[in-house]
Each structure stands twice: as structure tokens, then as C-alpha cells.
Amino acid sequence: MHVIVIGSGPAGISAALYARRGGAAVTVITKGEGALASAEEIENYYGFAEPISGAELEQRGIAGAKRIGIVFETDVVMSICPLDTEAGFLVEGVQRNYKGGAVVLAAGTQRKTITVPGVREFEGRGISYCAICDAFFYRNKRVAVIGAGDYALHEAQYLLPHVVQLSLLTNGETPLVDVPEDVVLDTRKISRIVGERRVRQVLFTDGTSINVDGIFMAVGTAGSMDLARKLGVLLDDGKIIVGKHMETNVSGIYAAGDCTGGLLQIVKACYDGAEAGLAAVRYLRGQ
């Protein structure tokens, strides 16, 4: 019985604690600090006579989880998919892959994109956030992936067999990965995305442009929404839709904390995590 939790914020740690105490082996995969670490002082959480910094609260949570045998892996998750040959899921990290019977998504709300005119306007009309979901629509088309790291490379590699031309637009950043030969690397800074009904062009700050039929956003690392989307988990207005026990529409996948919306506070993230951890264990026992 193995539960994988993605994220080591209050939601992820609470999910891990309840799943572990419920008898499961638990691995928390985390890329490091989340929203909590940027909170200077917390004064509205139970049990502290004096304010505590978000970073310290987070570290205490992690230390407590380690004490009861929860395993931590420092890695950046890029995608999750159901296993082909057995029940459970394959979690793809930058460092390596992991297998688990149930997964709790607790990776916060961060959704990185670029803030140039045209991005919001063309979301869903040529701008996509998920290669696995939308590659099919771009067969034999020219597409661009925006990003400079492992996640962008992951999305580019998924798109390559489908498309006729693939550009990796780093938007002024130095690429952090080796770019395959069949990907056109373009480091120019982007000024605007334009089109009519759908995306047609990316304009650069030096006055030049390229024509594209689609753009895949893969800036920074994958967030909760990106991971959910690839799994076919339903979203509503940028939040993961969950039931009473934090279950998503995909059996075995749970979500907790800021990524499910509502009160974006520690106390709610902890409650969500507890529910998700318990529900994941019940799910695995019932299999």
C-alpha cells in the first residue's frame, strides 16, 4: 500500500501524516518550499503563543513527518499517468520515476506563464498548458513551447512526433537543458502574441516574429493544474474539482490545499490533506 504525495506544504504533509498513520507507505515528492515559506509571520494558526515564520512552520512539519517514517524525495514532478500493466500510477520526476497505488496532488496554486499581451486572450484558442492533452490537435502543424527548463523539454519531446516544426522559445533566458537537434531553439524575448480567431504569430522585442499554429506554455515547473490536466482530472476556474473526501474524478487521485480553491489558508490545507490521506488509504484497502 503506497501513497505518493506531491508537495511538502501543509496540505501535502497532512496528507502524508494521515496516510502513514493509516498504515500506508508514503513518499512525499517535493521541489522545496511552497507558498507557506514566503509568509513572514503566522499568527492565525493553532498552537503558537508567539508568531512563527512560515518557513519554520514548514520545516517543523517536514521534520515531524520524517520522524514517523515518511520518505522524502527532492524532485520536480513533470507528469503523472496510470500504469499500463498494473493498478496505480507512474509519477515522472526530473530525477527519476516513482510508482504508487494512489496519489495526492498538493502542489499549491502556482501557475507560471508569461505576462505579455495576448496570452490570456488566446488561452484555449491556440495556447495550451498540456502537451499530452492537446498534441493531437496540432498534427503536422507548427508549434512553439515557451520555457527553458526540464518541463519545457518534457513537453517538447512529447510534441515532437506529432508536429511538423517545433520551436523552443526561452523568452530571453538561457536554456537550462540540452535541446534536441530537431527542436529550433529561439532565445529572443517575446513582446506579444497575436492572431485573429486563433493564435497566429509570436512577436519579439527586436521587431521580428515567427508564425505558429499553437503555443504550449511550460514556464518553470509543472504546477498542480498542469499535473491534473494531464491525468484528465476535472478543473473549474483554475481549481481542481474534488468531492467530500478530496477525491477527484480519476479513481486513486486526490487533491488537497490551495490547488482545490476555497480558503487559501494553512488550516484549510491541513484539513484537506487529512481527508485526502485517509481517503487514499481507504481506496487502497478497498482494492
Ligand X SMILES: Cc1cc2nc3c(=O)[nH]c(=O)nc-3n(C[C@H](O)[C@H](O)[C@H](O)COP(=O)(O)OP(=O)(O)OC[C@H]3O[C@@H](n4cnc5c(N)ncnc54)[C@H](O)[C@@H]3O)c2cc1C
The SS3 assignment for 170 reads coil
Binding mask 62-81 for ligand X (x = CB under 6 A): --------------xx----
Q: Residue 85: what residue type?
A: T
In the complex with ligand X, the residue whose CB is nearer, 126 or 257, is 257
Q: Does 42 bind ligand X (CB under 6 A)?
A: yes
Q: Does 31 bind ligand X (CB under 6 A)?
A: yes
The SS3 assignment for 182 reads coil
Q: Does 35 bind ligand X (CB under 6 A)?
A: yes
User: Per CB under 6 A, which of residues 252..281 are in contact with ligand X?
Assistant: 257-258, 264-267, 269
In the complex with ligand X, the residue whose CB is nearer, 92 or 213, is 92
Range 160-163, long-range pairs (CB < 8 A, 24+ positions): 162/135, 162/136, 162/138, 163/135, 163/138, 163/139
Q: Residue 138: what residue type?
A: Y
C-alpha cell at 92: 515522472
In the complex with ligand X, the residue whose CB is nearer, 222 or 233, is 222
Residues found in the chain: 287
One of 222, 233, 253, 255 touching ligand X (CB under 6 A) = 222
One of 3, 5, 12, 144 touching ligand X (CB under 6 A) = 12
CA distance 101 to 18: 16
One of 223, 252, 261, 277 touching ligand X (CB under 6 A) = 223
User: Per CB under 6 A, which of residues 83..122 are in contact with ligand X?
Assistant: 106-108
How does DSSP assign 233-263, residue by residue? Answer: --EETTEE---TTSB-SSTTEEE-GGGG-S-
